[in-house]
Amino acid sequence: MTFVKTVESYHQGARTMPREFYTSPAIHAEEVERIFTKSWHCVGRAERLATPGDYFLQTIAGESLIMLRDRHHVIHAYYNVCRHRGTRMCDKSEGHFSETIQCPYHAWTWTTDGRLIGAPHMNEIEGFDKSDYPLHQAAVHEWEGFLFVSLAPEPEPFARAFAPLLNRFDRFELASLKAGKRIRYEAAANWKLVFQNFSECLHCPMIHPQLASKMPYLSGENDLTEGPFLGGYMVIGAPNESLTVTGRSCGLPVGQIPESDRQRAYYYSIMPNLLLSFHPDYVNYYMVWPDGPRRTIIETEWLFNPTSFGRADFNPDDAINFWDTTNRQDWRISELSQAGIESRVYAPGPYSPRESVPAAWDRAYRAIMGR
C-alpha cells in the first residue's frame, strides 16, 4: 500500500485495463504460459522444511510439486508425478518421508534425493535401467530464507532476475526471522486486483479506518517505480511505534534497523506472486495464487525476531489481528471490484497521480504479456 510522494513515474493518461483481462479464461490461460510457467514463484520459507524428509505440497500453474528436504539437507521441488504410470504420488498437504517416496499405485520407490531404487517386475524388461527414471524436478532457489521455484526448463538465473532486490533488504535480516503464524484466504477476484490493491493507499481512509489512523495515507515515497518490482515506504504516525492493534511494538526489532526506519513501513510487490511488508518489529509476506480468472488464494505469514519468542512482552497477535482485519477488508473490496468489472458497462477508467504504482504494475504486466 505505497504512495508516491514524487510522481515522476506517473504516465499522463494511464488507465485501468479492459474487462477481459479480469474475466477471460483465454487470457488466464495465456498468463499461465507467459508468466506462471516461466517466472520464479515464492513458495514459502525454508524453515518449513526443518529436517530431512520434511515436505509440503505446492501447486503452481496447475502443477503439483513436492517441496522436500533430502537426507543431505538439499531442498528439491519434485513434480508429484510417478515415472511409471503418471500417478500423483502424494496427496497429503504436508508431512515427513522417513527414507523413501513410494507411489501408492504400483510401488515404484525413490530416495529423497530423487533416485529410483524400486520398480517391481521391471527387471523382466530388457534394457530397463533405474537411473533413467529419476523424479522430475523444477528449479529451486533460496533467498533470504524464502524458497523460490520456477517451472521453466531453463529459467532465467535467479540472481539476474532478482538483481534489483538482492541486497535491498539486508538490514531486516530476513533469513534469521522465525514464522509465528500462517493464514490462508480466498478472494472471489482476479489475482491482478490483489496486486493493484496492495500497490496504493488512496483507498485507505475509506476501506481501512484502523490503518489510516496509524499511517497517514499521503505519507512516504517509493524507491522502485518501474518494472516487475515496485514499492517503497510509508510513515507510521506518532505516537504509534508499529502497525498493531495497540500501536505498540509487538516484539523485538527485526534486524539492524537504522533510526531512519524506526517510523517507517515498507511495502513491495514482486511479480508474479509475492507481496512483502516490512515493519520495525515484524515482517509479513503474501503469496498470491491465481485459481482461474475469478478466484485467488492468498497465503500470508508473519515473521518475527527469533529472540522475541518466549519473552513475556512478546505479543504477536497485536500485529496478526491488525492485519487480519485489514486483509479481509482488502479481499472484500477486491471482490466488489471484480463484480463491477464483470458488468457490460465497465470501461477502463483513469488512474490519478496517486495511483502511479498500480499503473506501473499494469505496464509491467502488459509488457510480459506482449501487449
Cell of residue 158, nine digits: 535467479
Give the Cα separation of 171 and 298 in Å (integer). Answer: 27
* Integer CA distances (angstroms), 283 to 115, 167, 168, in order: 38, 16, 15
The one-letter amino acid code at 318 reads: D
Task: Give bridge partners of residue 138 from the DSSP assignment.
Answer: 77
DSSP 18-46: PTHHHH-HHHHHHHIIIIITTS-EEEEEG
Pair 36, 61: CB distance under 8 Å: yes
The model's pTM is: 0.94
Whether the pLDDT of residue 12 is over 80: the answer is no
Pair 267, 198: CB distance under 8 Å: yes
**For the purposes of burial, counting CB atoms within 10 Å of the CB of 93, is it exposed (0-12), middle (13-18) or buried (19 or more)?**
exposed
Quick: pLDDT tens for 335-364: 999 999 999 999 999 999 889 999 999 999
Element (H, E) at 233: strand 229-235
The pLDDT score that the predictor gives to residue 7 is 45
Looking at every residue in the chain, the average pLDDT score rounds to 95
Give the Cα separation of 357 and 354 in Å (integer). Answer: 8
Residue 184's closest CA among 45, 324, 65? 324
**For the purposes of burial, counting CB atoms within 10 Å of the CB of 362, is it exposed (0-12), middle (13-18) or buried (19 or more)?**
buried
> 10 Å Cβ neighbour count for 352?
13
The one-letter amino acid code at 236 reads: I
Pair 295, 188: CB distance under 8 Å: yes
| pLDDT level of residue 19 (50, 70, 90 thresholds) | very high
Whether the pLDDT of residue 36 is over 60: the answer is yes
Question: What are the helix (H) ranges across the chain?
Answer: 20-23, 25-31, 158-161, 191-198, 204-207, 209-212, 316-341, 356-368
The pLDDT score that the predictor gives to residue 336 is 98
352 contacts: CB under 8 Å, gap ≥ 6: 202
Query: How big is the chain by its Cα radius of gyration, in Å?
Result: 22
The pLDDT score that the predictor gives to residue 2 is 43
Domains in the chain: ranges and CATH: 20-37+168-368 (3.90.380.10), 41-159 (2.102.10.10)
Three-class secondary structure of residue 130 per DSSP: helix
Give the Cα separation of 365 and 361 in Å (integer). Answer: 6
Cell of residue 111, nine digits: 530416495
Quick: pLDDT tens for 276-332: 999 999 999 999 999 999 999 999 999 999 999 999 999 999 999 999 999 999 999
Residue with cell 524453515: 47
Residue 278's closest CA among 243, 329, 314, 227? 243
The pLDDT score that the predictor gives to residue 308 is 97
The pLDDT score that the predictor gives to residue 220 is 85
The pLDDT score that the predictor gives to residue 8 is 47
Quick: pLDDT tens for 199-241: 999 999 999 999 999 999 989 899 999 999 999 999 999 999 9
**For the purposes of burial, counting CB atoms within 10 Å of the CB of 159, is it exposed (0-12), middle (13-18) or buried (19 or more)?**
exposed
